[in-house]
Structure 1
Amino acid sequence: MAVSRQSSLPGSDVAEDLALHQEKVRRRLPTTLEDLHGPLTGMIELPVHVAWSGMTAYDLDKPRQRTGLYRTVLHEGLREDLPL
């Protein structure tokens, strides 16, 4: 029995998905770096809608936790969550 396969070559669907993702991320980012403000040291507790699947408290004095905090907020946060 012969099995037919459809080609999954990258095309306009992939480019369209990428463009939509980029637009979604762009809309969430602040307009300027001056819009970002918040503590530089100490503990940060993220709301559940941002840290829904893991750590919720981060120590900004620990570089690895600070990086994890930034990654989580940029990936999961809404625009209003970014100017901590």
Structure 2
Amino acid sequence: MASRWIRPEVYPLFAAVGTVVGICGMQLVRNISTNPEVRVKKENRAAGVLDNFEEGEKYAQHAVRKFVRGRSPEVMPSINKFFTDPK
């Protein structure tokens, strides 16, 4: 029965779905643990609305955003330049 459903042609699909589930899980953990607007503990929820702009800026400007800041928004700039720039 397992050989009927698990074939070598399906492995890339498993890899893609597994990657997406991993990224979603990572984002969920990041939001629950570091987002300043999410309060899981009851003591933190009792504090009400906090104006903590430094913590919000730290959350919004994370390492990935700092890494791609100033770069062109292209996936493969050399290939795009090769096909779009006339010689």
TM-score (norm 1): 0.30
The structure where helix makes up a greater share of residues is 2
The structure where strand makes up a greater share of residues is 1
Bigger RCO of structures 1 and 2 (CA < 8 A, at least 6 apart): 1
Q: For the pair shown, which has the larger CA radius of gyration, 1 or 2?
A: 2
